[in-house]
Amino acid sequence: MAILVTGGAGYIGSHMVWALLDQGEDVVVVDRLSTGFRWAVPPEARFYLGDIGKPAVLRQIFGDHEIEAIIHFAGSIVVPESIADPLAYYENNTGNTHKLLTAAVKAGVDKVIFSSTAAVYGLPDKPLPIREDAPLRPETPYGQSKLMSEQMLKDTSRAHGLNYVALRYFNVAGADVKGRAGNSAAGATHLLKVACEAALGKRRSMSVYGTDYETPDGTGVRDFIHINDLVDAHVKALDYLRRGGGPLVANCGYGRGYSVLDIIDAVRRTTNQNFVVEYAPRRPGDAPLVVADSGLARKVLGWRPEKDDLDLIVSTALAWERLLDDLPRENVRDLRRKLVGSRF
């Protein structure tokens, strides 16, 4: 039986596909390529170009393959964009999750792993780190759209026996340590990728939003988790569901934070480049300090993150960013050969 990965051509999804293939899984990918790339999907995975919001696409996939489980990454993730265009986020994140779950129930799929977010907590109460039983008060349509999807999973589980794991990510960063995947999105808003682009001369400058938070240096503090550790949590979640595990919501983070200026300093130190940083007011929806309590994932899933190292996170992100410089000059086949052969 196959594992269906929605959004498998994107940043996190492509890492997931590689991890599943490493485990010997049969993998099917569906992606509309709005932010992902066809070349990011390994040739061993079967690829469908399509939008999960279109029932015909899902009918074809479930008709062509016997799907054991779904790992659902497809969605929109830019917080300011969700504030500017909330209906698009409710359509793409919440509405399309509804359509995916409807198709899954019809096809008899009873295992789902969902890509959720720490944004469901909104502005957290003290004390930190945040546990899963903290109040859920999303400040943005992005966070609300993910929380609504979590509720759909909960209700679908009760009505149809669906078992699921919803993983609430904190700040995902870095690139595959084997050099096979990374954050390739154009115009990305991820802090570390933006800083890497600035350091390598791909941006004239970068902006820091908010310098007056009640944090040690005045900038926001986040729990940055290496992409390979995050993907490993999904692998552990799949094992958990296969063992008969029931519905679970769990945080994914390291339990400690780095400030915006910490990340910038780490990139400057690694590259020896003093790029331009501009300072701007706070953005709506940004919390001062967000750090995860991931004890539940460690206890129930047996998750043991191994890459809690800021220098490793930064070095892998930079190595991938340098590799992307070759994209305009190489065809897809040459690029794929280079990606598979490279190591960080």
Of the given ranges (62-71, 250-259, 328-337), which has the lowest mean pLDDT? Answer: 328-337
pLDDT over 60 at 328, yes or no:
no
pLDDT at 285: 80
Q: What counts of helices (H) and strands (E) characterise the chain?
A: 12, 14
CB-CB contact of 41 with 29 (8 Å)? yes
User: 40-49 long-range CB contacts below 8 Å, 24 or more apart?
Assistant: 40/9, 40/10, 40/14, 40/181, 40/184, 41/8, 41/9, 41/14, 41/17, 42/17, 42/18, 42/180, 43/336, 45/5, 45/8, 45/17, 45/21, 46/2, 47/8, 47/9
Which CATH number fits the domain that encloses residue 254?
A: 3.40.50.720
Closest CA to 154 of 251, 252, 247, 250: 247
Instruction: Show the DSSP H helices in 161-252 as ranges.
Output: 191-199, 227-242
Closest CA to 203 of 191, 194, 212, 190: 194
State the pLDDT confidence band at 327, using cuts at 50, 70 and 90. Answer: low
CB-CB contact of 222 with 173 (8 Å)? no
Model confidence pLDDT, tens digit, residues 42-101: 999 999 999 999 999 999 999 999 999 999 999 999 999 999 999 999 999 999 999 999
pLDDT over 80 at 40, yes or no:
yes
Helix (H, G, I), strand (E, B) or coil at 21: helix
Average pLDDT over residues 212-219: 95
As annotated, the active-site residues are 142
Highest mean pLDDT among 218-222, 326-330, 331-335: 218-222
Tell me the C-alpha distance between 326 and 105, whole Å. Answer: 43
Model confidence pLDDT, tens digit, residues 290-305: 999 999 999 999 999 9
- Please count the structural domains in the chain: 1
Residue 214 DSSP one-character state: S
Tell me the C-alpha distance between 282 and 101, whole Å. Answer: 37
Q: What is the largest CA-CA distance in the chain?
A: 56
pLDDT over 60 at 335, yes or no:
no
Instruction: Show the DSSP H helices in the chain as ranges.
Output: 11-22, 55-64, 79-84, 86-89, 96-107, 141-160, 191-199, 227-242, 260-271, 295-296, 310-324, 332-341
Tell me the residue range of the domain where 161 lies: 2-341
* CA distance from start to end of the chain: 33
Model confidence pLDDT, tens digit, residues 92-119: 999 999 999 999 999 999 999 999 999 9
